[in-house]
Amino acid sequence: MDNIKVYYKILNEYRKHDLNLIMLLQKIQEVFGFVSEDSVYWFSRQLDIPASKFYGILTFYPKFRLKPTGKNILTVCCGAACHIKGSDKIVQKVRETLSLNEGEDTTPNLQFTVQEATCIGACSVAPLVILNNTVHANMDTDKTVKLLKGFVIEDEYIGY
């Protein structure tokens, strides 16, 4: 299996640089976009660390994902400054536009994942939306929907 090869690579790196569990899981997520049950058990066996330790960390830090992500990731900052400038309305509108059901954050065709972030430290240009590492400042619901629509049609940023 291809995955196993990659796992070995990560394992080597882990042993060579004396990494800790968080770093190991970050590496796995970096490569696969999420941490699968499969990988947790594989590493658990190899390192002789109980899988519960892995899940302890995975479920503690909000950045770890246990399900695959969409091709495009849209993050809405929901810190205090963004909140009073209407980030909750943006999240609601985005979820509506992508017709996401409650409890889901990724569209069935794996095109989009919607995330909420805690303060990302750019409060002065709130509210913020991050689409695939590009930060869009001073957003509102209309601008965000336009941004999304641009992506759905062209699959790339066409501006708003």
Partner 1 sequence: MFKQYINKSGIEAEIGQRCSYQKVGCRGFCSKDVLVDVVIDGKKTTYQLVKPIMVERIVSEHIMNGQPVAEWTVTPDYEAFHSKQHKIVLGPCGEISPEKIEDYLAIKGYKAAKKCMTRMTQRDVITVVKNSGLRGRGGSGFLTGLKWEICLSQQEQPHYIICNVGEVNRALAEGNPHAIIEGLLIGGYAIGAEKGYIYIRERYHLSVERLQNAILQAKEKGFIGKNLFNSGFNFDIDFSFGTESFICGEETALMESIEGKRATPRFRPPFPAEQGLWGKPTIINNAETLSNIPLIIGKGAPWFSSIGTEHSKGTKVFTLTGKIKNNGLVEIPMGMSLREIIYGIGGGIEGNRKLKAVQVGGPSGGIIPESMIDMGLDYESLHKVGTIVGSGGMVVFDEDDCIVSITRFFIEFLQRESCGKCTPCRIGTKRMLEILSRITEGKGELEDLSTLERLSSVMTTSSLCGLGKMAPNPFITSLNHFKNEYLAHIREKKCPAGVCTSLITFTIIEELCKGCGMCRRVCPAKAISGAPKKLHIIDADLCVKCGACFKACKFKSISKG
Token couple for 112:
């989009």
From residue 77, how far is each of 27, 53, 96, 124, 136 by CA, in Å? 24, 30, 17, 12, 11
Smallest distance from partner 1 to CB 142, Å: 11
Token couple for 25:
């899981």
Q: Which is nearer to partner 1, 83 or 95 (CB)?
A: 83
3-state secondary structure of 35: coil
Closest by Cα among 21, 9, 82 to 47: 21
Rg, Å, the chain Cα set: 18
* 45, 118, 132, 158: which one binds partner 1 (CB under 8 A): 118
Q: Enumerate residues 124-153 that contact partner 1 by CB under 8 A.
A: 124-126, 133
Give the interface segment with partner 1, choosing from 2-10, 37-45, 115-123, 144-152 (CB under 8 A).
Answer: 115-123
Q: Which is nearer to partner 1, 4 or 84 (CB)?
A: 84
* 31, 36, 83, 145: which one binds partner 1 (CB under 8 A): 83
Question: Pairing between strand 129-131 and 112-117?
Answer: unpaired
Q: Enumerate residues 18-77 that contact partner 1 by CB under 8 A.
A: 19-23, 26, 56-57, 60-64
Give the interface segment with partner 1, choosing from 38-46, 99-107, 118-126, 143-151 (CB under 8 A).
Answer: 118-126
